[in-house]
Structure 1
Amino acid sequence: MTEQAVTVSLSVEEVENWLREKIAYKLSVEPVEVSVDDFFDSFGLDSTEALVLAGELETWLGFELETTALWYHPTIAELAEYIVAEKDRLAA
């Protein structure tokens, strides 16, 4: 993890859009069809797909998420808020 990657500003909306696009791609639907308030398990992603998504997300963010992040923040909206708060915390 580089310090520069952590200090880049990131908004909740940017994270939500990234997650919506990735999930929409995996489901072969348009991003507007993916609600930020639906639970991740409602998207029908299997555990392997969820792990791949988490890995892609960590690469995009530039830092590692807790393995329980998707469990404790089970919607795109909740996870996006957590990620932005975590990124701000790491940058402080």
Structure 2
Amino acid sequence: MTAVEAQQWLIEKIAHRLGVAPGEVSPEQYFDELDLDSTEALILAGEMENWLGFELGTTTLWYHPTIKDLAAHIAEECGQRASA
């Protein structure tokens, strides 16, 4: 999994949840600036964990607060899991 693939997946899912075109979701945008309520955020996190095949830590979004940052973290995490 690359950061680009993770970023694309996140943008598409967030755009769908917000009812906007993917081009309207900036990878530099902070998650807390997105108009996702807590239920939608939990659903998105669950979908992401199912897609990835592993659970993200509870502080992941705190330390990786943008789509771009989270995508890079996911790619790194996938790489570490693949080489383990």
TM-score band by shorter chain is: over 0.9
> TM-score under structure 2 normalisation?
0.94
1:67 aligns to what? 58
Identical amino acids, percent of aligned pairs: 57
1:37 to 15, 28, 31: 28
Structure 2: segments with no counterpart, 5+ residues: none
Larger Rg: 1
Paired AA for residue 52 in structure 2: L
CA–CA distance in 2 between the matches of 1:62 and 1:68?
18
Matched, 1:56 2:66: no
Cα RMSD for the two superposed structures: 0.8
Other-structure match for 2:78: 87
Q: Structure 1 regions of 5+ residues with no counterpart?
A: 1-9
The number of residues matched between the two structures is 83
The residue type equivalent to 2:46 in the other structure is G
Detail structure 1 runs of 4+ shifted over 4 Å in the superposition. Answer: none
Match of 2:3 in 1: 12
Question: Shift of the alpha carbon at 1:84?
Answer: 0.6
| TM-score, normalised with respect to structure 1 | 0.86
